[in-house]
């Protein structure tokens, strides 16, 4: 961890830099796999599952019997928690629905937007040491609310060819029935091109390691849309002298445990808080299970002490964090100054883990400074706003000459003529 005491503004550019990971050497490898999947379909998917997930699969699709089994196997307490989180996520995303208004821009010229769901979407849920069932909820619930016709979910199976029951339970709760045992680059290729088993989709959502991210980037150049580019997860905690250092430390560590490449930064106007935080954090760290990983991540974490809260917020906006926690007395005032962030957690009782799991907001958020241009996944991500316009004869009579004038100046004859032939007839 590096501590910066009152750094000069000229140093800020360096401070907000993310650890960079050059993944260009993955390009050829991933591109080759995608080509194989495109050509070989299910056969190649099964071969690659055997190679990377060490399992022999007969069917790629999860059967009804497997869903049934998962419902029996899942712990009742966990099922209740998933139900509760699911209700909150559903409430928040339902409130995001859009209804366009008809605008008469001038007499007889009426324009409007209509929000229409994407017909086919694909969701990727990574495997790894723990089953990320929360990601199932975050990706599938808004897809269902949007009304997407086909929702496909891919996730890697274990060596016995099984998908974790919590994943299947979460899929059931979210209303997703088409789940496929395909992981990594295979999953992205399968959903981008389609195979005998896996339907082709128009947009792919979800996190993943650098292979998955490269695959998403490559298919997004031509074949499908993706939710957003991604990088390692990160949190920025803003705290003042009154913040409880134990809360700050716990938020910091909950980010750091994500992986060796995730980043936590604390920005404060209180040198004293920074000191107390470091002490408490060391104590909390001792009690955690993922200590080694967490320590690795802490190596590139930062504590920055600045003179004023205005400076603090300026640096926050330069950094553009995925998660921003404002744990200060006047957090509502600071919230007004947020220009660049993915999701913001306000006050002492809003830890990042609330939004990661259960409060209702989405946890699929822009990392790596992308919050300057992207937002997180929300209901809009599953829809498109199609524009409509209807001109009456009178509308065209008054607007027509404007169109003709402009088309002529752009030397687009036929564009002008499309108006002229109509005006002649009126």
Work out whether 4 is an interface residue with a second copy (CB under 8 A). Answer: no
* Range 235-274, binding a second copy (CB under 8 A): 244, 246-247, 250-251, 253-254, 256-258
φ/ψ of 159, rounded to 5, equals -65, -20
Work out whether 412 is an interface residue with a second copy (CB under 8 A). Answer: yes
CB of 22 to a second copy, least distance (A): 10
Residue (of 317, 322, 315) closest to 268 by Cα position: 315
Work out whether 152 is an interface residue with a second copy (CB under 8 A). Answer: no
Rank residues 319 and 374 by Cβ distance to a second copy and give the closer one. 374
Point out the catalytic residue in the list 93, 258, 300, 323.
Answer: 323
Please identify which residue in 25, 64, 130, 286 interacts with a second copy, judged by CB under 8 A: 130
Report which secondary-structure segment, H or E, holds 69: helix 64-73
Work out whether 340 is an interface residue with a second copy (CB under 8 A). Answer: yes
* Range 8-67, binding a second copy (CB under 8 A): none
Q: Alpha-carbon distance 410 to 406, whole Å?
A: 6
322 catalytic? Reply is: yes
CB 230 within 8 A of CB 376: no
As a three-state string, the secondary structure of 213-281 is HHHHHHHHCCCCEECCCCCCCEEEEEECCCCCHHHHHHHHHHHHCCCCCCEEEEEECCHHHHHHHHHHH
Point out the catalytic residue in the list 49, 234, 322, 352.
Answer: 322
Rank residues 189 and 360 by Cβ distance to a second copy and give the closer one. 360
323 catalytic? Reply is: yes
CB 55 within 8 A of CB 146: no
Work out whether 159 is an interface residue with a second copy (CB under 8 A). Answer: no
Please identify which residue in 49, 66, 322, 352 interacts with a second copy, judged by CB under 8 A: 352
Q: How many residues bind a second copy (CB under 8 A)?
A: 125
Q: Alpha-carbon distance 362 to 375, whole Å?
A: 11
Please identify which residue in 1, 15, 55, 225 interacts with a second copy, judged by CB under 8 A: 225
**What is Dmax (Cα atoms) for the chain?**
83
Q: Alpha-carbon distance 152 to 60, whole Å?
A: 12
CB of 370 to a second copy, least distance (A): 7
- CA distances 126 to 62, 135, 143, 237, Å, are 16, 9, 18, 27
CB of 320 to a second copy, least distance (A): 9
Please identify which residue in 154, 314, 353, 367 interacts with a second copy, judged by CB under 8 A: 353
Q: Write the binding mask 63 to 102 for a second copy: x where contact by CB under 8 A, - elsewhere.
A: ------------x-xx-xxx-xx-xx--xx--xx----x-
**Which residues are tagged catalytic?**
322-323
């Amino acid at each position: 961890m590096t501590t910066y005491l009152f750094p000069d503004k000229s140093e800020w550019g360096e401070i907000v830099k993310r650890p960079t990971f050059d993944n260009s050497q993955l390009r050829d490898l991933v591109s080759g796999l995608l080509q194989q999947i495109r050509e070989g379909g299910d056969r190649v998917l099964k071969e690659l599952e055997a190679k990377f997930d060490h399992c022999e699969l007969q069917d790629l699709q999860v059967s009804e019997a497997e869903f049934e089994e998962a419902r029996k196997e899942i712990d009742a307490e966990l099922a209740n928690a998933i139900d509760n989180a699911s209700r909150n996520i559903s409430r928040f995303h339902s409130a995001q629905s859009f209804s366009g208004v008809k605008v008469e821009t001038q007499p007889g010229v009426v324009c409007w937007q209509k929000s229409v769901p994407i017909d086919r979407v694909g969701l990727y849920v990574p495997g790894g040491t723990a089953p990320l069932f929360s990601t199932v909820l975050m990706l599938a619930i808004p897809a269902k609310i949007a009304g997407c016709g086909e929702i496909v979910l891919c996730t890697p199976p274990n060596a016995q060819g099984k998908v974790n029951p919590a994943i299947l339970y979460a899929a059931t709760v979210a209303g997703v029935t088409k789940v496929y045992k395909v992981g990594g680059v295979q999953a992205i290729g399968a959903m981008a091109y389609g195979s005998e088993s896996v339907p082709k989709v128009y947009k792919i959502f979800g996190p993943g390691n650098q292979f998955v991210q490269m695959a998403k980037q490559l298919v997004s150049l031509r074949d499908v849309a993706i939710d957003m580019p991604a990088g390692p997860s990160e949190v920025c905690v803003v705290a003042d002298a009154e913040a409880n250092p134990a809360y700050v430390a716990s938020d910091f560590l909950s980010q750091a445990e994500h992986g060796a490449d995730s980043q936590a930064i604390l920005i404060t106007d209180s040198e004293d808080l920074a000191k107390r935080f470091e002490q408490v954090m060391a104590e909390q760290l001792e009690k955690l299970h993922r200590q080694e990983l967490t320590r690795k991540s802490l190596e590139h974490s930062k504590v920055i002490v600045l003179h004023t809260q205005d400076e603090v917020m300026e640096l926050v906006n330069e950094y553009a964090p995925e998660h921003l926690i404002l744990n200060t007395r006047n957090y509502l005032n600071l919230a007004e100054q947020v220009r660049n962030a993915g999701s913001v957690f306000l006050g002492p009782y809003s830890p990042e883990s609330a939004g990661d799991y259960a409060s209702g907001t989405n946890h699929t958020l822009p990392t790596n400074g992308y919050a300057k241009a992207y937002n997180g996944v929300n209901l809009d991500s599953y829809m498109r706003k199609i524009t409509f316009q209807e001109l009456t004869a009178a509308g065209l009579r008054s607007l027509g000459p404007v169109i003709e004038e402009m088309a002529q100046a752009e030397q687009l004859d036929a564009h002008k003529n499309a108006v002229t032939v109509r005006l002649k007839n009126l």
